[in-house]
């Protein structure tokens, strides 16, 4: 395969430089100085300022913000209390993103626990007037995949299913396998024609406690008060900066992650890691003088978590110049040890990437998973831009994901440096390869 | 050693029965139906009812409550906010037991982080008017011991040391090595003549964040509001029941744990485990017909956590009959795999127990640690009663200790059954041995 030996050589050079990366320190800086940064919040505004300052200090060209329309969701006061037996006993709760509020006086109702959607169906009228608790047990699945995909259906669609059965609210066991008595939030949705009922996450521990009480036929009454709400539309921003290509500066490789985070922590893995990987990749490539053929454009996206608005807005804004986008790279799977890449696009392009990955063994085998890239570059991939997503060891990703635990101490400095190396190498490859990757036919 | 082979045989019989113990189910029942049970709270009253009902169902004799004077501490609303940089950013906080409240409008002040008491001394006037953050890093130490002992000094005495340097409040890194973004409470104290300043625990993660910001010379202003207070004295109760001895019913072996827990969780390891071990030990001994020579008296103590009142009151009430107490056994080190016992008393008695322990290998080697027994039986040991404390593998005990994570899923069913076996065997030994253990000379 042409270019393979040059690619492997660049990989070794980048890996050596990445051993002295500033990725972890920059991640801690974002987390400590800025903190949580949900779109629409003061935190997100501070993150935009932070990113502009960092890109400027790194010497990127054309540093700018591009407007993104966002309808933000804001968390309110929230409270869940076991009224009986032996109440009032407060237990941890957190509203899911986009949930409506309860009435100001809260909801007091009997609960019913179900292990899955099928059990809810079997209940028939048994959920009417009740608070439904979805106690679905997530499987621990390495590399993200299966365990999360199965379990997140209850977070995303639990309120719809419960409302169809006449429930007054939905509580969802947090989508995690980590027993930290911690709530894990995330976005949810409603369906036209189905009543909008409030939805919140509870801890594994409390979900199991409620299930045990039901098992023993102990009547359980809960009090739930949630105050979240949608705010009026505001203009947020994607933050963009460039490393100009040496030969074909009009051809663009987009490299990025999302700048927003959930509000319960500072989003170290999700997606502070993607932000600093993108910044560090470009800084290292520049520093070691590997300035590639094409322009690498860093795009830090707004509001991935509760609307995917930044990725959508970027793709929309580039419709006229979409043919000049030769590839898009994203990191949104945490700051763990890199395991490879995902690819969304033409099979011939995937074959070519796979051959290049096989040539470089400095980080252990890096494999290609077809059919997946990343959330923010999904809209670009739909327009035919080859989409590449960094994959990381996901075994422990959902321990921290969307929870108060997603702090920088959970990111290992050395693993993050390895991720910088894999990511910077891929960014360089995509921007340097003499012939760009074959494009897929755009989705209709 | 006389009695050794009989002791080993009883050990095997008890171990076999303990494999079918109800310990875990009873623990979950206490945790689920009653929940948190800080002395002075509705939860403690429910725990007393629960314990009376359980002892009665187990067929114990002379089931009763004995009054204990308690001056309870009650948690109030609590809030800690990073005002700058980029505030307001709320971070988790929990008041330490017995802490005074802040003024109702809260305290807003600069912070200073110190790694230990020595660094505070070096600050001189540098802590005056500030909120002192004690960022002492606990070592992970198996079997409880060193790691906790070193670190808990900051929780117990941090407010005194900080106040002596003119600080307005003390924040203490939670006494744990578990990075669950969780606060771990516990009791603290004040010193006569030193101003009483509010004291609270913060998470490891936030303590490290504040230390990093200080390291970078970023000014940090915090807002702290705590509403805890001491309540007027109330009468709580120890709960007591007996298995009458077959030959010398007036000779008593006390077996127990503390019925109260902190308020952040249901106290599964601390000390729900000790409660159910005490109940199950007696139930199993009775069930398999090993009814011993002397009376085994189960004592479930009130308010260990914030005053040690139950243990003190029990010893006081027994001063006249103290000679009839041949031994006291306690479990207050969680529900983990048993590793042996502690012993507080005469060296000759320790030698004798050590020989008996060596004879039984059904649970792996059970060793004796001299000079320690348990908090609630400490007052009895001071009066010369031989004190024996169950020891458990403590490697992960402080992951959960005094935190919202201390829930029954953290207790392994099989490990708890092994603890039941070790504990029941020791209770039986102490109540059965022909000659009681030699007594120590009472402390003056």
Q: Which residues of B touch A43 (CB under 8 A)?
A: 86, 89
What integer is the mean pLDDT of A359-382? Answer: 94
What integer is the mean pLDDT of A328-357? Answer: 97
Position B145 scores a pLDDT of 64
pLDDT-derived band at B314 (thresholds 50, 70, 90) equals very high
- On the question of pLDDT at A145 being above 70, the answer is no
Position A149 scores a pLDDT of 92
- pLDDT digits 0-9 by tens, B426-442: 999 999 999 999 998 88
> Has this prediction a pTM greater than 0.90?
yes
DSSP H or E run through A14: helix A4-18
Q: Which residue of A has its CA nearest to B399?
A: A180
- Pairwise CA distance, residues B420 & B8, whole Å: 16
- On the question of pLDDT at A146 being above 80, the answer is no
Q: Which residues of B touch A404 (CB under 8 A)?
A: 92, 181
pLDDT-derived band at B443 (thresholds 50, 70, 90) equals confident
- Residue B335 structure tokens: 């529900």
- On the question of pLDDT at B144 being above 90, the answer is no
Q: Give SS3 for B379.
A: helix
Q: Do A208 and B409 touch (CB under 8 A)?
A: yes
Asked whether the beta carbons of B249 and B24 are under 8 A apart, the reply is no
Question: Distance of CA A241 to CAs A51, A64, A251, A297, A381, Å?
Answer: 10, 6, 15, 6, 21
Asked whether the beta carbons of A123 and A165 are under 8 A apart, the reply is yes
Measure in Å the smallest separation between the Cα of B212 and chain A Cα atoms: 8
Give me the interface pTM, i.e. the ipTM. Answer: 0.96
**What is the bridge-based pairing of β-strands A325-330 and B169-173?**
unpaired
Q: Give SS3 for A223.
A: strand
Q: Which residue of A has its CA nearest to B34?
A: A86
B410 part of contact set with chain A, CB < 8 Å: yes
Position A38 scores a pLDDT of 98
What are the beta bridge partners of residue B344? B387
What integer is the mean pLDDT of A24-40? Answer: 98
Q: Which residues of B touch A82 (CB under 8 A)?
A: 35
Which are the catalytic amino acids of A?
304
- On the question of pLDDT at B147 being above 80, the answer is yes
A13 part of contact set with chain B, CB < 8 Å: no
What is the rounded average pLDDT for all residues in chain A? 96
- pLDDT digits 0-9 by tens, A156-175: 999 999 999 999 999 999 99
Residues 181-210 of A with CB under 8 A from B: 181-182, 204-205, 208-209
- On the question of pLDDT at B146 being above 90, the answer is no
Q: Do A407 and B205 touch (CB under 8 A)?
A: yes
- On the question of pLDDT at B40 being above 90, the answer is yes
Q: Do A409 and B205 touch (CB under 8 A)?
A: yes
DSSP H or E run through B411: none
Position A360 scores a pLDDT of 83
Nearest to B212 among A28, A36, A209 (CB): A28
Q: Do B213 and A32 touch (CB under 8 A)?
A: yes
pLDDT-derived band at A3 (thresholds 50, 70, 90) equals confident
Interface test with A, best of B22, B24, B35 (most A CBs within 10 A): B35
Position A144 scores a pLDDT of 57
- pLDDT digits 0-9 by tens, A41-58: 999 999 999 999 999 999
Which are the catalytic amino acids of B?
304
- pLDDT digits 0-9 by tens, A237-283: 999 999 999 999 999 999 999 999 999 999 999 999 999 999 999 99
- Pairwise CA distance, residues B405 & B174, whole Å: 13
What are the beta bridge partners of residue B379? none
Q: Which residues of A touch B92 (CB under 8 A)?
A: 404
Q: Which residues of B touch A213 (CB under 8 A)?
A: 32-33
- Pairwise CA distance, residues B38 & A349, whole Å: 64
At CB < 8 A and 24+ separation, what contacts does A87-91 make? A87/A221, A88/A223, A89/B35, A89/B36, A89/B43, A91/A202, A91/A203, A91/A206
Size of interface A-B (CB pairs under 8 A): 83
Percentage of the residues of chain A whose pLDDT score is greater than 70: 99
Q: Do B182 and A181 touch (CB under 8 A)?
A: yes
A82 part of contact set with chain B, CB < 8 Å: yes
pLDDT-derived band at A200 (thresholds 50, 70, 90) equals very high
Position B1 scores a pLDDT of 54
Question: Distance of CA A36 to CAs A77, A220, A264, A265, A304, Å?
Answer: 17, 35, 7, 5, 14
Q: How much helix, strand and coil, in percent to the nearest 5, is found in chain B?
A: 35, 25, 40
What is the rounded average pLDDT for all residues in chain B? 96
- pLDDT digits 0-9 by tens, B188-202: 999 999 999 999 999
- Pairwise CA distance, residues A235 & B193, whole Å: 57
Q: Which residue of B has its CA nearest to A403?
A: B181
What integer is the mean pLDDT of A83-101? Answer: 97
pLDDT-derived band at B58 (thresholds 50, 70, 90) equals very high
Q: What is the DSSP string of A324-368?
A: GEEEEEE--S-SS-EEEEEEES-HHHHHHHHHHHHT--BTB--EE
Question: Edge-to-edge strand order for the sheet containing A367-370?
Answer: A61-70, A234-243, A294-301, A248-258, A325-330, A387-392, A338-344, A367-370
- On the question of pLDDT at B444 being above 80, the answer is no
A409 part of contact set with chain B, CB < 8 Å: yes
Residues 89-118 of B with CB under 8 A from A: 89, 92
Q: Which residues of A touch B402 (CB under 8 A)?
A: none
Q: Do B405 and A181 touch (CB under 8 A)?
A: yes
Q: Which residues of A touch B86 (CB under 8 A)?
A: 33-35, 42-43, 46
Nearest to A213 among B32, B205, B405 (CB): B32
- On the question of pLDDT at B143 being above 70, the answer is no
Measure in Å the smallest separation between the Cα of B21 and chain A Cα atoms: 19
**What is the bridge-based pairing of β-strands B131-134 and A169-173?**
unpaired
B327 part of contact set with chain A, CB < 8 Å: no
Q: Which residues of A touch B404 (CB under 8 A)?
A: 92, 181
- On the question of pLDDT at B98 being above 70, the answer is yes
């Amino acid at each position: 395969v042409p270019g393979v030996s040059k690619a492997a050589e660049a990989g070794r050079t980048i890996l050596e430089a990445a051993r002295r990366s500033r990725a972890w320190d920059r991640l801690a800086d974002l987390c400590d100085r800025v903190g949580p940064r949900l779109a629409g919040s003061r935190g997100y505004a501070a993150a935009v300022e932070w990113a502009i300052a960092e890109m400027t200090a790194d010497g990127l060209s054309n540093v700018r913000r591009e407007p993104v329309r966002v309808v933000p969701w804001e968390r309110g006061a929230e409270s869940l209390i076991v009224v009986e037996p032996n109440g009032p006993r407060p237990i941890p709760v957190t509203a899911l993103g986009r949930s409506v509020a309860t009435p100001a006086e809260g909801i007091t109702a009997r609960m019913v626990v179900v292990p899955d959607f099928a059990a809810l169906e079997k209940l028939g009228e048994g959920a009417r007037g009740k608070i439904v608790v979805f106690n679905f047990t997530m499987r621990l699945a390495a590399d993200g995949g299966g365990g999360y995909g199965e379990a997140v259906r209850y977070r995303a669609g639990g309120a719809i299913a419960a409302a169809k059965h006449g429930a007054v609210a939905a509580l969802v066991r947090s989508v995690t396998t980590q027993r930290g008595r911690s709530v894990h939030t995330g976005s949810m949705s409603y369906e036209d024609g189905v009543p909008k009922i409030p939805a919140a996450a509870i801890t594994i521990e409390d979900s199991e406690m409620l299930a045990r009480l039901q098992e023993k036929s102990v009547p359980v009454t809960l009090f739930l008060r949630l105050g979240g709400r949608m705010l009026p539309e505001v203009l947020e921003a994607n933050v963009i900066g460039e490393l100009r290509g040496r030969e074909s500066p009009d051809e663009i490789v987009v490299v990025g992650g999302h700048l927003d985070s959930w509000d319960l922590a500072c989003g170290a893995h999700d997606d502070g890691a993607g932000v600093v990987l993108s910044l560090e990749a470009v800084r290292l490539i520049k520093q070691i003088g590997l300035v590639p053929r094409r322009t690498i454009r860093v795009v830090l996206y707004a509001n991935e978590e509760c609307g995917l608005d930044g990725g959508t807005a970027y793709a929309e804004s580039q419709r006229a110049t979409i043919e000049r986008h030769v590839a898009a790279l994203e990191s949104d799977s945490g700051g763990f040890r890199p395991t490879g890449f995902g690819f969304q696009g033409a099979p011939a392009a995937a074959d070519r990437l796979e051959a290049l990955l096989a040539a470089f063994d400095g980080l252990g085998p890096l494999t290609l998973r077809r059919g997946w890239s990343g959330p923010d570059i999904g809209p670009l991939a739909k327009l035919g831009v080859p989409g590449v997503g960094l994959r990381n060891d996901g075994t422990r990703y959902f321990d921290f994901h969307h929870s108060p635990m997603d702090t920088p101490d959970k990111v290992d400095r050395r693993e993050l440096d390895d991720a910088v190396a894999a990511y910077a190498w891929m960014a360089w490859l995509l921007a340097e390869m003499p012939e760009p990757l074959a494009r897929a036919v755009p989705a209709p």
